[in-house]
Amino acid sequence: NAGVTQTPKFRILKIGQSMTLQCAQDMNHNYMYWYRQDPGMGLKLIYYSVGAGITDKGEVPNGYNVSRSTTEDFPLRLELAAPSQTSVYFCASTRQGRNGYTFGSGTRLTVV
């Protein structure tokens, strides 16, 4: 199994540009999450989804959007990139009642 796959691994954006961070899991997990991690800090929850068609805001949702049209995919959209969105983004998934989250390897985003 591939687990949780995130693409791209690295990206540099200019202020005002848009992009989509991709996240896919092949474990039939119903719960999926997007976190961001700034240097030296813990992870902060951006958005989460408990199933296809259902999404909800986390702690820091401003400037981001998500969709969950399938169980496998949970893309994160940045519409107007700002320097404050420079961070490492992690996608995670789990199944209700199972042990812990499975995380992807992250996307390093720099906005200049």
Partner 1 sequence: DAKTTQPPSMDCAEGRAANLPCNHSTISGNEYVYWYRQIHSQGPQYIIHGLKNNETNEMASLIITEDRKSSTLILPHATLRDTAVYYCIVSLDSGGGADGLTFGKGTHLIIQP
CA 23 – CA 32 distance, rounded (Å): 9
Pick from 37, 27, 44, 7: nearest CA to 100: 27
Residues in 81-110 at the binding interface with partner 1, rule: CB under 8 A: 88, 90, 92, 94-106
Pick from 53, 97, 100: nearest CA to 73: 53
CA 101 – CA 20 distance, rounded (Å): 22
* 42 belongs to the binding site for partner 1 (CB under 8 A): yes
* 18 belongs to the binding site for partner 1 (CB under 8 A): no
* 9 belongs to the binding site for partner 1 (CB under 8 A): no
- 3-state secondary structure at position 1: coil
Of 15 and 53, nearer to partner 1 (C-beta) is 53
Structure tokens at 101: 């989250």
CA 99 – CA 44 distance, rounded (Å): 20
Out of 38, 56, 70, 79, which residue is the one contacting partner 1 (CB under 8 A)?
Answer: 56
Out of 13, 33, 87, 111, which residue is the one contacting partner 1 (CB under 8 A)?
Answer: 33
Out of 45, 61, 75, 77, which residue is the one contacting partner 1 (CB under 8 A)?
Answer: 45
Interface residues with partner 1 (CB under 8 A) are 4, 31, 33, 35, 40-45, 48, 50, 56, 58, 88, 90, 92, 94-106
